[in-house]
């Protein structure tokens, strides 16, 4: 298979694909005005559900899990980390088992899912809990986590915890030794809690600027520690609701583009019509504006964002280039995950997960998607 397109800030590229990998890349000249762009497929390390399918739902089954792929490909995303949120431990284990069954049934799903993300139940039940139900929240417990890991076939690659909880440091040290990425969020702690758990091995902030109290103490809010600690990368939800432009600019300025990762934090209402829905026992609503909120309006409840729109919003809010946005949606999460089959950049030997798109004012219009070296989506 042959592809051609503009690689932003690189030039016009001709790409050869052999099997499931890129076999050669030739830059033949400068970018061609008006021609489509070519980039690695987008990588979403936090996606709770999509197109009507909730990965944490009691009615999740294999076919529903697999049905997410075509809708996801249409947004340019070729790699995702299905994210299970705070719930009863047996319910979490059940759904990890179903995701493993989906992996076993479908090579495409297996390829698209390098690992899973567990967000909770080891988070704060106080002001920062958001749409997570406090009744299921617990202190970090490594033995419990190992049981969930067995249900997940060893594929839990990211776990989000609150750093102030008892046992957070010990849990983090064991997770790091086991190759699991520890992320910090939904925290009501202090900067010192953040620094202590970062020293124990945490390397990521989950949706920085969210999952924290609505009112920030001028000095003692965990946000300041998360922002300042150089050991922690930052994932960002750029949907126009979770973070204002000023905060996006500040995060990018402090962290640097190399430590920023774009995510959707999408729930199952993404690509669904506005209306009322349910998220793990919590009533939520997708508003006509595209914002997802708890029915009581106390907090947001994930997003309806797609990655192709998230890149466009990030560019607008941060005033960074298309190349920088692509980096935050591809190379940076790929470096974090450090797993085979994830395309980080367009080069020989990389997995043939690619997207061709045109840049528009409010989104990136996806024209074609390649996954495993084969056409997965095309508007032609």
366: β partners: 357
Q: Which pLDDT does position 130 carry in this prediction?
A: 86
Asked if the structure places residue 172 within a domain, the reply is: yes
Residues 36, 306, 249, CA angle at the centre, nearest 5°? 85
| Whether the bond into 121 is cis, omega within 30 of 0 | yes
**pLDDT on residue 131:** 87
- Sheet-wide strand order for 260-263: 42-47, 77-85, 116-119, 156-161, 181-184, 204-205, 233-237, 260-263
Residue 155 has pLDDT above 80, yes or no: yes
Residue 310 lies in a domain: yes
Residue at 140 is within a domain? yes
Please report, for the domain that includes residue 220, its CATH number.
3.20.20.140
d(Cα 312, Cα 123) in Å, to the nearest integer?
Answer: 31
> Which stretches of the chain are DSSP H helices?
62-73, 89-105, 107-112, 142-151, 168-177, 191-200, 222-228, 245-255, 307-318, 322-329, 331-337
pLDDT attached to residue 213? 84
The per-residue pLDDT for 340 is 87
At 58, the pLDDT band (50, 70, 90 cuts) reads very high
Residue 361 has pLDDT above 90, yes or no: no
Q: How far apart are CA 224 and CA 193, in angstroms?
A: 11
Q: What is the pLDDT of residues 200-246, one digit of tens each?
A: 999 999 999 999 888 888 899 999 999 999 999 999 999 999 999 99
The tens digit of pLDDT for each residue in 269-320 reads: 999 999 999 999 899 999 999 999 999 988 889 999 999 999 999 999 999 9
Q: Indicate whether 24 belongs to any domain.
A: no
Per-residue pLDDT, averaged over 162-189, amounts to 98
Domain with 228 in it: 41-343
pLDDT of residue 77: 98
- Give the whole-angstrom CA distance, residue 294 versus residue 47: 18
Q: What is the model's pLDDT at position 97?
A: 98
Torsion sign (Cα): 193, 195, 196, 200: positive
Q: With 80 as the cut, is the pLDDT of residue 380 above it? A: no
Nearest to 39 by CA among 64, 65, 6, 61: 6
Q: ∠196-192-259 over CA atoms, to 5°?
A: 70
Looking at the domain assignment, is residue 357 inside a domain?
Answer: no
- Mean pLDDT rounded to a whole number for the chain: 96
Q: Give the model's pLDDT for residue 216.
A: 84
Is 160 a member of any domain?
yes
d(CA 357, CA 41): 11
pLDDT of residue 78: 98
Task: Report pLDDT digits (tens) over 317-332.
Answer: 999 999 999 999 999 9
Partners of 7 in the β-ladder: 11
Q: Note the pLDDT tens digit of each residue in 103-142.
A: 999 999 999 999 999 999 999 999 888 889 999 999 999 9
| Domain tally, the chain | 1
Is 367 inside a domain boundary? no
* pLDDT value at residue 298: 84
**CA nearest neighbour of 302 among 137, 159, 131:** 131
Is 353 contained in some domain?
no
Q: Reduce the DSSP state of residue 25 to 3 states and report it.
A: strand
Q: So what's the pLDDT on residue 277? A: 96
């Amino acid at each position: 298979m042959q592809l051609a397109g503009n690689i932003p800030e690189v030039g016009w590229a001709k790409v050869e694909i052999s099997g499931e990998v890129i076999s050669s890349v030739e830059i033949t000249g400068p970018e061609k005005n008006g021609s489509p762009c070519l980039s690695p497929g987008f990588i979403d390390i936090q996606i709770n559900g999509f197109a009507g399918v909730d990965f944490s739902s009691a009615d999740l089954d294999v076919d529903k899990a697999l049905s997410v792929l075509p809708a996801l490909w249409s947004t340019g995303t070729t790699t995702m980390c299905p994210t299970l949120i705070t719930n009863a431990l047996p319910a979490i284990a059940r759904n990890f088992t179903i995701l493993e069954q989906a992996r076993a049934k479908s090579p495409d799903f297996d390829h698209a899912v390098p690992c899973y993300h567990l967000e909770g139940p080891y988070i704060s039940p106080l002001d920062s809990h958001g749409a997570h139900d406090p009744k299921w929240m617990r202190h970090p417990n490594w033995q419990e986590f190992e049981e969930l890991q067995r249900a997940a076939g060893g594929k839990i690659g990211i776990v989000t915890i609150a750093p102030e909880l008892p046992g957070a440091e010990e849990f983090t040290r064991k997770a790091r030794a086991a190759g699991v990425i520890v992320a910090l969020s939904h925290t009501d702690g202090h900067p010192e809690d953040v620094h202590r758990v970062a020293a124990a091995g945490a390397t990521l902030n989950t949706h920085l600027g969210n999952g924290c109290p609505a009112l920030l103490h001028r000095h003692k809010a965990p946000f300041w520690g998360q922002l300042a600690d150089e050991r922690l990368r930052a994932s960002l939800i750029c949907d126009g609701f979770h973070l204002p432009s000023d905060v996006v600019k500040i995060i990018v300025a402090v962290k640097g583009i190399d430590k920023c990762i774009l995510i959707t934090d999408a729930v199952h209402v993404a690509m669904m019509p506005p209306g009322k829905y349910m998220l793990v026992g919590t009533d939520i609503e997708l508003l006509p504006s595209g914002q997802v909120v708890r029915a009581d309006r106390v907090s947001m409840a994930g997003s309806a964002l797609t990655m192709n729109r998230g890149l466009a919003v990030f560019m607008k809010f941060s005033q960074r280039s298309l190349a920088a946005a692509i980096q935050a949606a591809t190379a940076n999460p790929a470096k974090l995950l450090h797993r085979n089959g994830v395309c980080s950049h367009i080069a020989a030997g990389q997995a043939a997960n690619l997207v061709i798109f045109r840049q528009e004012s409010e989104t990136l219009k996806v024209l074609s998607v390649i996954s495993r070296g084969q056409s997965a989506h095309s508007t032609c």
